[in-house]
Amino acid sequence: MSFELPKLNFAPNALEPQISQKTIEFHYGKHHQTYVTKLNNLIPGTEFENASLEDIIKKADGGIFNNGAQVWNHTFYFEQFAKNGKKEPSGALKSAIEQEFGTFAEFKEKFTQAATTLFGSGWAWLVVDPDGELEIVQTQNAGNPLRDGKKPIMTCDVWEHAYYLDKQNARPKYLEDFWDILDWEVISERYNG
């Protein structure tokens, strides 16, 4: 099986000013593409030659895991954005967020804290744990909650390549803008699906 860089659901300049076209060109066009290319070069002749990205995340190690997880993580990350998407959760997801975190504003504060305090490179996630409860988790580097039996429904990439061209080292400013371009309809579909 050969993996391909998935198409974006938006034009490269569609998320401006929160995320610039230049960042999309580098983050998606170069970093994401490099993970796809490296994974395709690593899997021939291995047990993962015909595996799904999910199986690679759950079972692989080393370079195959790192590149496979980064392909999945980035695809998942980019799919949740829309300039004019739904700005807040509703229905079952809203109720679950309020039950677990209090208000939506309190959830945003806790998630932002997790994303801004993650040391080094990695990801902050909103996941459904095996008991069906919402949880905010951090993963280092290419880490993915699927490996721990958790279902991701939202993520924030806090590798510097996600924001450095636009925000330099100001990760909190990146997080502030991140909330403006999330499409909660996509995130709700992941939760309900």
Q: Walk along the chain (193 residues) in steps of 10 and give the mean pLDDT of each run.
A: 94 96 96 98 97 97 98 98 94 97 98 96 97 97 97 97 91 95 97 88
152-169: string of b/e by CB count within 10 Å (b at 16+)?
Answer: bbbbbbbbeebbbbbbee
Give Cα 98 distance to the centre of its chain: 22
Looking at beta carbons, which pairs linking 45-54 to residues 24 or more positions away fall under 8 Å?
A: 49/1, 50/1, 51/1, 53/3, 54/146
* DSSP code for 169: T
Q: Domain limits of the chain?
A: 21-79, 91-192
**CATH number listed for the domain at residues 91-192:** 3.55.40.20
CATH class of the domain defined by 21-79: mainly alpha
Per-residue CA distances from 100 to 36, 81, 110 (Å): 36, 24, 11
Please, which contacts does 27-32 make with residues 24 or more away whose CB atoms are closer than 8 Å? Answer: 27/74, 27/157, 27/161, 27/162, 28/74, 28/78, 31/74, 31/161, 32/5, 32/70, 32/71, 32/74, 32/75, 32/78
pLDDT score, position 129: 97
Hey, is 124 helix, strand or coil? Answer: strand
Q: What pLDDT score was predicted for residue 14?
A: 97
| 111 touches 156 (CB < 8 A) | yes
**Pairing mode, if any, of strands 134-140 and 151-157?**
unpaired
Q: Determine the Cα–Cα distance for residues 123 and 71; give it in Å rounded to an integer.
A: 13
